[in-house]
Amino acid sequence: MEAQQGGTIEVQPVYFIKKACRRLGKEICLPMSTTQIAAALFQLQQLDLELERFGAEQQAVVSSLKGTAILQQLRSEQNMAQQQLRSALQAQNEAEWALEDLVNRLKTKEQRLYSGTVTNPKELSALQQEVQHLREQQSRQEDKVLETMDAAETLQERVQQKAEALQRAEEAWAKESAALVTRRDQLEARGQELQTKRTQLTSGISADLINRYEALRRSKQGRAVSKVEQGSCQWCRVILTPSELQRVRASTELQMCTNCGRILYYDR
């Protein structure tokens, strides 16, 4: 078997094609012509191209199904906002307890001050000062409580916003991933179908020829076979001479394009 750029591939031994014979009422094997072999290789190429496309889409779908980066980010943002809210509520509680403590202390001191039990002027003046001091402290603590309440409220809103964003993203993802899962299953089924067809097709072609085809496919951008259309190679557009055209149509050997080196297939 010899094949060079612009040369020929000798087809040996003769390949057979199974055909149903009505007269004999059974399947008979007929020798395959070079045109039929080129046609089979062309069909194989169409299958391989389709399998390639499906493979690429399948990979994209599988990686999309893994890709929940946005959801993960939203979840972590929501967690962080919740943590901040918990700290803020804790700070608010502490400020309220401190205020309550001040209120109680002030109340006790005021009761003592206005009870009339303290008569010593020095002691009375000290008590008054203490009450005054506690009132100032209370006022400052009230401001602090308001500040912490404000902060907690702001964070509460943020948590709410994050939760809503996350929910929207989760709903969208559920829809999207359902469609992706459906598509993945479709691609898998179609891929298997194509693979079965390919096996059937290649079982009728010799291993030598398949190897030759595979090698050409690898070196020629996945296109080992080129159709002849309007007297020229469909792939590289080179115009075939009348004698080349004649050989493609009638030779017992597979013909190659003299320009691009692909197997020529003449589709009657």
Judged by CB under 5 A, does residue 235 bind Zn ion? yes
What whole-number distance in Å separates Cα of residue 13 and Cα of residue 237? 31
Long-range contacts at 100-108 (CB < 8 A, ≥ 24 apart) = 102/134, 102/137, 102/138, 102/141, 103/138, 105/134, 106/131, 106/134, 106/135, 106/138
Best CA proximity match to 265, nearest among 244, 249, 252, 253: 249
Kindly indicate which of the ranges 49-57, 91-99, 201-209, 234-242 contains the residues binding Zn ion, using the contact rule CB under 5 A.
Answer: 234-242
Judged by CB under 5 A, does residue 113 bind Zn ion? no
What whole-number distance in Å separates Cα of residue 208 and Cα of residue 230? 30
Judged by CB under 5 A, does residue 256 bind Zn ion? no
Please identify, using beta-carbon distances, which residue of 137 and 259 lies nearer to Zn ion: 259
Among 17, 71, 180, 260, binds Zn ion (CB under 5 A): 260
Kindly indicate which of the ranges 99-107, 137-145, 195-203, 260-268 contains the residues binding Zn ion, using the contact rule CB under 5 A.
Answer: 260-268
- Mark residues 41-70: x for contact with Zn ion by CB under 5 A, - for none: ------------------------------
Taking the complex as a whole, how short is the minimal distance between the CB of residue 37 and Zn ion, in angstroms? 18
Joined tokens for residue 102? 């001040």
Taking the complex as a whole, how short is the minimal distance between the CB of residue 261 and Zn ion, in angstroms? 7
Judged by CB under 5 A, does residue 21 bind Zn ion? no
What whole-number distance in Å separates Cα of residue 102 and Cα of residue 109? 10
What whole-number distance in Å separates Cα of residue 77 and Cα of residue 227? 58
Among 35, 177, 186, 259, binds Zn ion (CB under 5 A): 259
Please identify, using beta-carbon distances, which residue of 159 and 225 lies nearer to Zn ion: 225
- Beta-carbon contacts of residue 8 (< 8 Å; ≥ 6 apart): 2, 247, 251, 253, 254, 255, 256
Residue corresponding to tokens 């993802």: 173
Task: Count residues binding Zn ion (CB under 5 A).
Answer: 6
Among 166, 233, 256, 263, binds Zn ion (CB under 5 A): 233
Provide the binding-site residues for Zn ion, judged by CB under 5 A.
233, 235-236, 257, 259-260
